[in-house]
Amino acid sequence: MPHRTFLWFIFPSLAAMILFIAMPIASVLIQSLYVEHEQVIVLGETCGPFGCTPSTTVDVEATAQLKEDAPLGRFNGLGTYLDRGHLAVNELRMAWAISDGLGDFLSRVMNLPFYKALAFTMTFTFVVTPLVIVLGLAIALGVNGLPKMLKGPTIFVSLLPMIVTPLIGSLILFWMIDADGIIGKTLQVIFDDPDLSLKASPTLTWIVLIIYGVWHSAPFAFIVFYAGLQTVPEETLEAAMIDGASRWERIRYVVIPHMAPLVVFISLMQLMDNFRVFEPIVGFSAQANATSLSYIIYSDLRGDQQQFGSAAATSMLTILGVAVLLTPVLIRTWRDFNRKRA
């Protein structure tokens, strides 16, 4: 296809992506270098019958004017990146200096908002992704053995947790684990502890969020694996049987190698999706015990005082994280591409 025609065809799509994906990234980069204006303070004197005292007042008008003239705020360089809310360089150095032992240091670090969010995001990503793959494969093997008649309805039901809006899915589970909800109550009875609440402790909140994540994503892995199972070469399976392979050995040495490319595909998708975990934290109201990178950006942007600079700095760090996550994939694809051309 000539370059010119190609350009015409791709133009609308490309324009949309440049305007609303590439430009915002540039905008985030610029915003992250600025911070909000300080309020304009006027020094004055208040004089009463007993003499004058110096006072400070906020000049509301001048502050508003300043905001209007320079909506970005004032230039701050990399200051926002290094402050307590983000990389917290000074706090880290302090913590390292005064803490006795690695455990103490880590618990101090976990009090810093950025590292707290990063820890949860990474844990979520790297715990949910493998669990989803294992559970998805197990369900696919199970469903594959069902009588034909039952397969359709089973797939229908299995799709539900994945298709449902993440916020709604997490709300549905949140209401069930509420201390007055069905699961919450049942757990209280089982553990004989009327004060048991899944929302109270950080550990339990993390576990609940991870369970939600697996519940939500397992159907995706299941469907992909199930489709893969339909194309497992029958001859190889029979050959393995004749050679005396047990069922487990057939799964291990024929089915799983056949599925390997699918595992790569699912992990790539899951890493990308789990890294931006966000809605479950809103749905489970879990922000006290678990925050993710996406969530702290969201909470910076909400509220009366929107902190664009702070949100932008976290966004840049998140984008950096995505880049690191994707590098192996990109390198691999690049090699494949070159091999194909060669």
Partner 1 sequence: MSIASQRRSPALIVFSTSFVILWVILAAFPFVWTLWGSFKVQADFFSKADWTNALWGVRTVAETGAAFTGDGYYGAWVEQDFWRAVLNTLIVVVFTVIISLTFGTLGGYALARSGYRYAFWLLMIALVFRAMPHITLVSGYLLPFFEWNLWGHLPTAIIVLVAINQPFTLWMLHSFFLNIPKDLDESAMVDGCTRFQAFRHVIIPVMWPGVITTGLFSFLLAYNDFAVTAMLLSQDNQTMVPKIASFLGSTQVEGNVMFAVAAVVSATAPLFALIMFFQRQIVSGLTAGAVKG
Question: Where in 130-159 is the site for partner 1 (CB under 8 A)?
Answer: 138-139, 141-143, 145-146, 152, 154-159
**Neighbouring C-beta atoms of residue 121, cutoff 10 Å:** 24
Min dist CB 262 to partner 1, Å, is 5
3-state secondary structure 256-297: HHHHHHHHHHHHHHHHHHHHCCCHHHHHCCCCCCCCCHHHHH
Among 58, 62, 98, 168, binds partner 1 (CB under 8 A): 168
Restricted to residues 252-271, the positions that interact with partner 1 (CB under 8 A) are: 261-262, 264-266, 269
Pick between residue 47 and residue 189 the one whose CB is nearest to partner 1: 189
In the complex, the smallest distance separating the C-beta of residue 58 from partner 1, rounded to whole angstroms, is: 22
Q: Which is nearer to partner 1, 69 or 100 (CB)?
A: 69
In terms of phi and psi (left: phi > 0; alpha: psi -120 to 50; beta: otherwise), the region of 303 is left
Binding to partner 1 by residue 215, rule CB under 8 A? yes
Using the rule CB under 8 A, is 10 a contact of partner 1? yes
Q: Is 6 in the site for partner 1 (CB under 8 A)?
A: yes
- Give whichever of 289 and 300 is closer to partner 1, judged by the CB atom: 300
Residue in 37, 108, 178, 199 binding partner 1, rule: CB under 8 A: 178
Q: What are phi and psi of 36, to 5 degrees?
A: -60, 150
User: Contact at 8 Å (CB) between 71 and 308?
Assistant: no
291 near partner 1 (CB under 8 A): no
Check residue 276 for interaction with partner 1 (CB under 8 A): yes
Residue 115 or 220 having the CB closest to partner 1: 220
Backbone φ and ψ of 43, nearest 5°: -90, 130
User: Which span (53-61, 83-91, 103-111, 168-176) binds partner 1, by CB under 8 A?
Assistant: 168-176
Of 39-47, 83-91, 124-132, 306-314, the segment contacting partner 1 by CB under 8 A is 306-314
**Closer by beta carbon to partner 1, 77 or else 142:** 142
Among the candidate windows 43-51, 100-108, 125-133, 177-185, which touches partner 1 by CB under 8 A?
177-185
Q: Can residue 288 be called a binding residue for partner 1 (CB under 8 A)?
A: no
Can you tell me which of 40, 122, 181, 197 binds partner 1, judged by CB under 8 A?
181
Question: Under the criterion CB under 8 A, does residue 315 sit at the interface with partner 1?
Answer: yes
* Residue 102 CB neighbour total at 10 angstroms: 8
CA distances from 309 to 35, 181, 326 (A): 5, 40, 26
Contacts within 8 Å (CB) and 24+ apart, 170-176: 170/212, 170/279, 170/280, 170/282, 170/283, 170/284, 171/283, 173/208, 173/212, 173/215, 173/283, 173/284, 174/283, 174/284, 174/285
How far the first Cα of the chain sits from its last, in Å, is 21
Residues 55-94 that bind partner 1 (CB under 8 A): 71-72
* Residue 217 and residue 134 in contact, taking contact as beta carbons nearer than 8 Å: no
196 is a site residue for partner 1 (CB under 8 A)? no
User: How large is the angle between the packed helices 148-163 and 202-229, nearest 10 degrees?
Assistant: 140
Q: Which residues pair with 53 in a beta bridge?
A: 46
Phi first, then psi, for residue 294 (nearest 5°) are -60, -40
Residue 129 binds to partner 1 (criterion: CB under 8 A): no
Among 35, 171, 286, 290, binds partner 1 (CB under 8 A): 171
Residue 269's CB is within 10 A of a number of other CB atoms, namely 16
Q: Quick check: 184 and 177 in contact, CB under 8 A?
A: yes
Q: Counting contacts by CB under 8 A, is residue 36 touching partner 1? A: no
Residue 23 in contact with partner 1, rule: CB under 8 A: yes
| Least Å from the CB of residue 67 to partner 1 | 11
- For the CB of residue 131, give the shortest distance to partner 1 in the complex, in Å: 13
